[in-house]
């Protein structure tokens, strides 16, 4: 039986008199795995923090092309791990360190493919942050390479571990509470993209575009729920408010800040996605309707109150069965560790897989399908025309890979 963690007590000032010999509920097993984090910006530091909280692996080393990023990551991490971090002089050294059990790639989107080539030369298990690439040809090359790779590549689509989506999958897919799913609606309303090193997320050529960079998470969720193959995609949107006056090196920002996307699947499921990135706070909503019920899952983060996001789920089945409304949460320490706790559970999947267990973490092929929907939507948005997905796949020479 897995022993319960009492995180609220084990480090409390009032419990510091408990000696090591008497630490049973508070005892933490020594980490057995060592991780190297490549890219120590916002997400890289989140993965470091979550690894320390989970306690099944220690951060062995870090590498970033920006010394300031490594300096700040090291300073922020020092209170969480007594063992000093190895700072590598270059990417090759970071990937080839024989002491590392796995590599986590958290670099800017446009570097993912190139960094991955060096990482794969190590033969080590790899965690690759989303989106897996900024264009479909690189994504396809990753899928092909992963088929013969001696270890595994896990894609960082961690929204599938958010509490409201875990429960939505359980009700809609495992329990079949909605009957046959017919429609899926997802929306996100949030503030603009945050600042990044070199402001790479303000430009489509570096990020892959908003629908690839940000929304691959939601297209992954929609694909999982639809359980079909996308056939037709139509999108509209653009850049209405954010970064209209922003330039870097004489180049104007061209990143979209809102979009509406419609997706038709081959099994008759229809889905929609709405994005707005000029809102004062954060909210997500998922509505799934089947022939036996309706499910609504939400997450609200009120920036005016010093609290974590609030997640909820409601199920309405009418005469088909029991209806309910519930609030959802992970323990506070886990929720505060990043992305409402989803990165923590993504790390559990990573650790389990490193220990040889079967898990449901995102595969390169699933990352590829999220990219296809996002890229087709990005093209539809640019051309103001619906995209036939099979024709889009053929035009990108992906038919054989995706058959």
| Residue 350 forms part of a structural domain | no
CATH number at residue 96: 3.40.50.720
Q: Are residues 73 and 178 in the same domain?
A: no
Total of domains in the chain:
2
Q: Are residues 303 and 383 in the same domain?
A: yes
Q: Are residues 201 and 318 in the same domain?
A: yes
Rounded Cα–Cα distance for residues 20 and 268 (Å)? 60
Amino acid 1: pLDDT: 46
Q: Are residues 182 and 141 in the same domain?
A: no
Q: Are residues 324 and 263 in the same domain?
A: yes
Contacts of residue 157, Cβ cutoff 8 Å, sequence gap at least 6: 130, 216, 217, 220, 362, 366, 367, 370
Q: Are residues 285 and 185 in the same domain?
A: yes
Torsion of CA 220, 222, 228, 234, to 10 degrees: -100
Are 272 and 184 a contacting pair, CB within 8 Å? yes
| Residue 382 forms part of a structural domain | yes
Q: Are residues 188 and 208 in the same domain?
A: yes
Judging by DSSP bridges, how do beta strands 102-105 and 126-129 pair with one another?
A: parallel
**Among 64, 290, 35, 310, which Cα is nearest to 164's?**
310
Name the packing angle between helices 136-148 and 112-120 (round to 10°).
20
| Residue 357 forms part of a structural domain | no
Rounded Cα–Cα distance for residues 218 and 352 (Å)? 24
158, 180, 210 - which closes a domain:
158
Q: Are residues 167 and 152 in the same domain?
A: no
Q: Are residues 205 and 309 in the same domain?
A: yes
158, 180, 213 - which closes a domain:
158
3-state secondary structure of 25: coil
Rounded Cα–Cα distance for residues 257 and 178 (Å)? 33
Contacts of residue 126, Cβ cutoff 8 Å, sequence gap at least 6: 102, 103, 104, 105, 116, 119, 120, 151, 152, 153, 154
Q: Which domain holds residue 319?
A: 159-332+363-402
> Hey, what are 225's tokens?
């729920």
Helix, strand, coil percentages (3-state) for the chain, rounded to 5, are 40, 25, 35
| Residue 50 forms part of a structural domain | yes
Contacts of residue 160, Cβ cutoff 8 Å, sequence gap at least 6: 166, 169, 220, 221, 224, 342, 360, 362
CATH number at residue 319: 3.30.360.10
| Residue 337 forms part of a structural domain | no
3-state secondary structure of 296: strand
| Residue 77 forms part of a structural domain | yes
Are 50 and 345 a contacting pair, CB within 8 Å? no
> Hey, what are 210's tokens?
């908003």
Helix (H) or strand (E) holding 327: strand 324-328
Please tell me the number of Cα atoms within 13 Å of 122 on its side-chain side.
24
| Residue 199 forms part of a structural domain | yes
**Among 29, 48, 51, which Cα is nearest to 38's?**
48
Q: Are residues 172 and 125 in the same domain?
A: no
Are 151 and 125 a contacting pair, CB within 8 Å? yes
Rounded Cα–Cα distance for residues 224 and 255 (Å)? 27
Q: Are residues 226 and 98 in the same domain?
A: no
Helix (H) or strand (E) holding 390: helix 389-395
Cβ of 225: how many Cβ atoms within 10 Å? 23
Are 171 and 315 a contacting pair, CB within 8 Å? yes
| Residue 270 forms part of a structural domain | yes
158, 186, 208 - which closes a domain:
158
pLDDT in tens, the chain (403 residues): 456 777 778 878 899 899 989 988 888 888 999 999 999 999 999 999 999 999 999 999 999 999 999 999 999 999 999 999 999 999 999 999 999 999 999 999 999 999 999 999 999 999 999 999 999 999 999 999 999 999 999 999 999 999 999 999 999 999 999 999 999 999 999 999 999 999 999 999 999 999 999 999 999 999 999 999 999 999 999 999 999 999 999 999 999 999 999 999 999 999 999 999 999 999 999 999 999 999 999 999 888 776 678 999 999 999 999 999 999 999 989 999 999 999 999 999 999 999 999 999 999 999 999 999 999 999 999 999 999 999 999 999 999 999 9
Q: Are residues 19 and 107 in the same domain?
A: yes
Report how far apart, in Å, the C-alpha atoms of 19 and of each of 53, 73, 80 are. Answer: 21, 31, 20
User: Is the bond leading into 148 cis (omega within 30 degrees of zero)?
Assistant: no
Return the exposure string of 109-142: e unless at least 16 CB atoms fall within 10 Å of the residue's CB, then b. Answer: bbbbbebbebbbebebbbbbbbbbbbbbebbbbb
């Amino acid at each position: 039986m897995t022993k319960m963690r009492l995180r609220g007590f084990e480090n409390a000032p009032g419990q510091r008199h408990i000696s090591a010999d008497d630490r049973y509920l508070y005892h933490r097993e020594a980490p057995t795995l060592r991780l190297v984090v490549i890219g120590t910006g916002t997400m890289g530091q989140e993965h470091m923090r979550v690894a320390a909280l989970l306690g099944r692996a220690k951060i062995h080393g870090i590498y970033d092309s920006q010394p300031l990023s490594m300096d700040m990551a090291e300073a922020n991490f020092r209170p969480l791990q007594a063992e000093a971090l190895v700072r590598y002089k270059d990417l090759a050294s970071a990937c080839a360190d024989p002491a590392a059990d796995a590599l986590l790639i958290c670099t800017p989107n446009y570097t993912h493919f190139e960094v991955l080539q060096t990482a794969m030369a190590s033969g080590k298990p790899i965690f690759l942050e989303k989106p897996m690439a900024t264009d479909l040809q690189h994504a396809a090359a990753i899928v092909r390479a992963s088929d013969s790779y001696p270890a595994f590549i896990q894609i960082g689509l961690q929204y599938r571990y958010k509490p409201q989506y875990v429960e939505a999958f359980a009700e809609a897919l495992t329990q079949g509470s909605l009957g046959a799913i017919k429609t899926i609606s997802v929306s996100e309303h949030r503030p603009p993209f945050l600042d990044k090193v070199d402001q790479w997320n303000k430009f489509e050529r570096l990020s892959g575009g908003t629908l690839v960079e940000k929304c691959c998470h939601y297209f992954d969720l929609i694909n999982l729920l639809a359980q079909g193959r996308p056939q037709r995609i139509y999108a509209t949107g653009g850049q209405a408010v954010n970064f209209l006056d922003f330039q870097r090196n004489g180049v104007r920002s061209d990143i979209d800040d809102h979009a509406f996307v419609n997706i038709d699947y081959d099994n008759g499921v229809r889905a929609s996605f709405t994005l707005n990135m000029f809102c004062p706070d954060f909210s997500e909503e998922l509505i799934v309707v089947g022939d036996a019920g309706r499910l609504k899952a939400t997450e609200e983060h009120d920036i005016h109150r010093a609290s974590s996001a609030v997640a909820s789920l409601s199920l309405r089945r009418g005469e088909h069965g029991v209806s309910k409304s519930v609030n959802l949460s992970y323990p506070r320490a886990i929720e505060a560790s990043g992305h409402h706790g989803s990165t923590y559970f993504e790390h559990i999947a990573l650790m389990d897989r490193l220990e040889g267990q079967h898990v449901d973490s995102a595969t390169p092929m699933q990352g590829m399908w999220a990219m296809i929907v996002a890229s087709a939507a990005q093209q539809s948005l640019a051309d103001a025309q619906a995209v036939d997905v099979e024709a889009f796949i053929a035009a990108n020479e992906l038919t054989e890979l995706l058959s």
